[in-house]
Structure 1
Amino acid sequence: MKTKMKTTLIIFNFILLLVLTSFSAFKEESYKKGDYFYLKLAPVDPRSLIQGDYMILNYEIVDELWARLNNTKNNMKVGYIVAKIDENKVAHFIDVVDKPFDDKNLIFIKFKSNSYNIKINADSFLFQEGEAKTYENAKYSKVVIVNNVLRLVDLVNEI
């Protein structure tokens, strides 16, 4: 009796694990097929460009946000970058707001800030070992927005 119960429990757990893993993989693939756009990368310190199997990323849109926040002496901790996507699917900084509003021509990218750093949830890129040369000259990141939060899909040299 106990053996049958253990076997049933193991099979149930395996099926549950399979369902959860499949759901997670399906969700991740759906992000990659979503309505993507590009963010122009800004230069970073070359000594910290490639650290192991990941890259630290910096974006022009974040630099523009940083300048805007410093010019207005605004110390927002959480907010949204307002951006417009051009004909090449590249996002350009428009403004910064504390909460998104309804405008189909604009996108809203959530950010978090402290006194010295701004995070937009796509600030590092993981890649396979030995693939650094493929990505070190990237000029854009390919991203999608899910609930106003960026999801990094890939790095590209050209659009």
Structure 2
Amino acid sequence: MAKYGVALVAALILLVVNASIWQKERVLANGKTVYLALAPVDPRSLMQGDYMRLRFALEEHIRAHLPTPPPDSQDGYVVVKLNAQQLAEFERLSPTLPSLPDTQQLALQYRIRQGQIKFATNAFFFEEGQADTYAQAKYGEFKVADNGELLLSDLRGENLTVLSKTRL
């Protein structure tokens, strides 16, 4: 009987994991594209192995609209307006997912943990030997779900040029 219980739990775990993967694949395929400008990071920590630490310029706009000192933990949405190139420009903060009638606006989910503002990720992983290519990154390319969830899909260079050789 215990074997069946273990098999059932394993099957449920696989079902949940696969559903999560399917959902993220749908966002990557169908989500709205938005570009967030990268902010400088400590150059001593820029490249560590085959990933790059990321920080976004939008974080400074969010920080400027938070109380001082910022909360230790908070979830919310930053409303951005997309310009002609789909670059995000700060408009306002919202504690809940806002209704946005303007199709050029997006609500992007953010969270604050231990006083640090976080978007989808703070790192970008790439193929071994591609550090010099990604050191030119100026923008993060994100896909945005209807609920404001962001998935980092790539990094872009100056003028939104594609950096990865696999996406040419």
Question: Which of the five TM-score ranges fits, normalised by the shorter chain?
Answer: 0.7 to 0.9
User: What is aligned with 2:142?
Assistant: 143
Compute the TM-score of the two structures, normalised by the length of structure 2: 0.73
CA deviations on 1:111-151 (whole Å, 9 max, x unpaired) are 11134311111321011111111111111111011221110
Give the number of the structure whose alpha-carbon radius of gyration is greater. 1
Selected match of 1:96 from 93, 96, 103: 93
SS of the equivalent of 1:58 reads coil
What is the match of residue 107 of structure 1?
106
Give unmatched runs, 5+ long, in structure 2.
1-10, 161-168
State the aligned residue count: 141
Task: Tell me the distance in 2 between the aligned counterparts of 1:44 and 1:119.
Answer: 14
CA-based RMSD of the aligned residues comes to 2.5
Q: Show the counterpart of 1:59.
A: 56
TM-score, normalized by length of structure 1?
0.76
In the TM superposition, residue 70 of structure 1 has moved relative to its aligned partner by 4.2
Q: Percent identity?
A: 32
Letter in 1 for 2:93: V
Q: Which residue in 1 is equivalent to 2:3?
A: none
Task: Give the 3 Å change call, closer, same or farther, for CA 25–81 of structure 1 in structure 2.
Answer: closer
Aligned structure 1 segments of 4 or more residues deviating by more than 2 angstroms:
23-35, 73-76
Residue in 1 that maps onto 2:128: 129
Which amino acid counterpart does residue 100 of structure 2 have in structure 1? D
Q: CA deviation at 1:27?
A: 5.2
Q: What residue number does 2:155 align with?
A: 155
In 2, Cα distance between the equivalents of 1:85 and 1:55? Answer: 25
